[in-house]
Structure 1
């Protein structure tokens, strides 16, 4: 599989992109691994080469996978696709339907509307991956600027979860932003489509999954990622992926992650807030570049 990544000039905060060209003649079938982002797969093949399925139902074409989409497989024959990862904070602004997307997989047209076909045609007609990345960045940037962003406090909590790799207490985050736990739970879920606790679990699993794929033992991963023990790691991996840590360690999707998303910086999601982050919070966690 050939992989293309965008130049620095095409990168937007909270948005990651990678291009894929499949070079095998026989159909492939790859299980996607849950990731703390909403994922857009734009099919650039000429004849609906991308096949995706969840819960035993298969469809063709471009699609959107929300947070925690359940068992999801993708594949097909030779073809090309553009994968776009949106942080939940960005997704709320770009797609405007975070709650409805959580736990689901939907056709891109169902989420993006009539513009989906035009976007596919423009990307398909581009003569290079650099051109495709510029087109996608322009489209996403305009959608991002056209919709109201999430609360600064919600954006801050998400950033803290990412920088701590999910090892942070929700009660402590509520204290940081000056909200009650109940208010944080309500606002976070209504704007990002997932509870703070579940979001932290997903971020922690993402770190654990990459360590497993890198060859670390389940016992060492459990200790590094803040799980109580190896059994705790097993239960959470099973709940998120429906499989075991051993299976996650050999997942093809994770095997290409470092090539497709090299050293991605922490999203600068503080730039997407309705109001400035409170002064007391600006020193909490590293700032994005």
Structure 2
């Protein structure tokens, strides 16, 4: 057995939300209006999207890395029926950052609303719904050995660590961004204060190209940090954090890594990563049974150390 320090906010039991709550907005790429409803779910349900099509039919898509499709500008989930939902990373980050295990997300369009380009609107809605503890124990993916994915100059890896830690580094030629790094242990408080308000970003020079491809139709200064041709942030309010760019990449990683199907205990590190690299790192970890085991917590007390009990991988 190993013990994990309670510097990290880890739970013994699974949670869901206490009541249904809905939010409405527009997709950043489609520009189309959409309503997203959060519904409580039974223990061991996991996170499931229910996509309502134009005919009113419902299509269930589990929020798992096995369902990840395109990852060019966002993370998209799709099922075998051809139903899909895209730009899920910000809401998934809010769910993970809130410590929620089981929930159904009912959505009447193919893209999650962007709101201000961060996770704040989702985080606030989930806080308003409230959390309920369930009787089933929460399971964690504990990293046992280093697992690394490389693609050109980009890479991402999981390494063993007694807690939940992110070390995300970006490196852009644009002087306004440059090389930035976020490194820290992650819990609900850190996510809300240090990560959740960081917005998605892009370059003005790319806008016309994206519009021609039918993308970024809903993008504006209200939901994206925009870097102008003079290499300055043109949003009137400026940055929310001095290193908001890397904090948003960390937010994306929190959302993408939640598609493992359970929280991980370990350290995630990346350099020049993104949605594709994040998903590939998760796949690499889960494809090697010797790289992780499934653990449950036993005897949770906030001020003491908590025993981790190993479970068979098939119980995830």
Highest RCO, 1 vs 2 (Cα 8 Å, sep ≥ 6): 2
The bucket for the TM-score relative to the shorter chain is: under 0.3
Q: TM-score, normalised by structure 1?
A: 0.27
More strand per residue: 1 or 2?
Answer: 2
